[in-house]
């Protein structure tokens, strides 16, 4: 047997597993089975406690989440840790919030594993956009309101220079991940691109978790809404006509938050 084949045969598998938005009931069966049998779980901060509690009592859980020092383990160190464990023969369940391939660095981790000759399996999860839309009963597409939906990262290098033109507007839905801190820049950017200040927005904080909040308003009032309501991560921002539709079909003009913000915007 060739040396590299022997290495493949002995090494463990890295499972890049999506944990969904937080509710254990929203895990795939594959994810639940892998979590329940794992000996080693490497997880990030978005994975809920309820889900981590599903692990065996003798499982080793390694958090690569932000610590009090505010530092996450650098991505290269996470890759090296997983590859080292897999090459030593252990299976690694790398558990991530939502879906591993949506703003989850799953691609980078898969590349690092492949480069080291380690097998990878990717298990999809319910991404925050899907989980939040369902929990808040906001249709991301709707035949009367939106036929395009885009997901963007609101916190990334050169946010101002990112080309979002055409992603938001009439007949479209824009879902912004990681946009809480940059809400003022996001609102300015979109209005500079020509989006109406009255475009409806919804902010969904802690979607699919017991402490979920759904706040609605208008684009011009987004920064104020986020600061006044002290919105904290994780939260998603949905921009488009769908954000003002109520599950019963009518619009949400009677919603107190929306009404208040509409009044403020008009002043
Ligand atoms: N891979 C993840 C996204 C990771 S980026 C996924 O597919 O969902 C982290 C961002 O996801 C957060 O800043 C927030 O915008 C969003 N997010 C994740 N979980 C969330 C939740 N339960 N409620 C609202 N937003 C969430």
* pLDDT tens-digit series, residues 165-179: 999 999 999 999 999
Q: Which of 4, 25, 58, 66 is catalytic?
A: 66
Q: What pairs with residue 239 in β-bridges?
A: 174, 201
pLDDT the model gives residue 134: 97
Checking if the pLDDT of 230 tops 80, the result is yes
Is 66 considered catalytic here?
yes
Which pLDDT value is given to residue 239? 98
SS3 state of residue 56: coil
What's the 6 CA to ligand 1 centre distance in angstroms? Answer: 39
Ligand 1: which of 21, 26, 28, 46 to mutate, judged by most atoms within 8 Å of the beta carbon?
Answer: 46
What residue has token string 């990681």? 178
* Residue having the nearest C-alpha atom to atom 11 of ligand 1: 177
Give, as one character, the DSSP assignment of residue 50.
Answer: H
- The DSSP bridge pattern shows strands 119-123 and 40-43 to be unpaired
Domains of the chain: 3-126 (3.40.1010.10), 129-266 (3.30.950.10)
% of the chain exceeding 70 in pLDDT? 86
CA of 167 to the centre of ligand 1 (A): 19
Report strand pairing: 92-96 vs 13-18: parallel
């Amino acid at each position: 047997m060739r040396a590299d084949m022997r290495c493949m045969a002995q090494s463990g598998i890295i499972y890049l597993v999506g944990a969904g938005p937080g509710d254990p009931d929203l895990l795939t069966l594959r994810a639940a089975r892998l979590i329940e049998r794992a000996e080693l779980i490497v997880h990030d901060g978005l994975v809920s406690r309820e889900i981590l509690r599903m692990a065996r009592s003798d499982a080793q859980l390694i958090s690569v989440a932000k610590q009090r020092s505010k530092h996450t383990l650098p991505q290269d160190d996470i890759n090296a840790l997983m590859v080292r464990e897999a090459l030593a023969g252990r299976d690694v369940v790398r558990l991530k919030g939502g879906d591993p391939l949506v703003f989850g660095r799953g691609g980078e981790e898969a590349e690092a594993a492949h480069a080291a000759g380690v097998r990878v399996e990717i298990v999809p999860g319910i991404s925050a956009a899907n989980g939040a839309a369902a929990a808040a009963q906001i249709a991301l597409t709707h035949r009367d309101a939106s036929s395009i939906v885009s997901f963007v990262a609101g916190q990334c290098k050169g946010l101002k220079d990112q080309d979002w033109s055409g992603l938001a507007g009439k007949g479209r839905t824009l879902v912004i991940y990681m946009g809480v801190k940059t809400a003022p820049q996001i609102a300015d950017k979109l209005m500079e691109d020509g989006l109406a200040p009255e475009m409806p927005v919804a902010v969904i904080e802690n979607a699919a978790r017991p402490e979920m909040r759904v706040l609605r308003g208008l684009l011009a009032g987004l920064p104020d809404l986020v600061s006044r309501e002290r919105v904290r991560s994780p939260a998603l921002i949905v921009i488009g006509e769908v954000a003002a539709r109520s599950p019963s079909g009518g619009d949400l003009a009677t919603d107190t938050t929306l009404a208040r913000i509409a009044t403020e915007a008009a002043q």
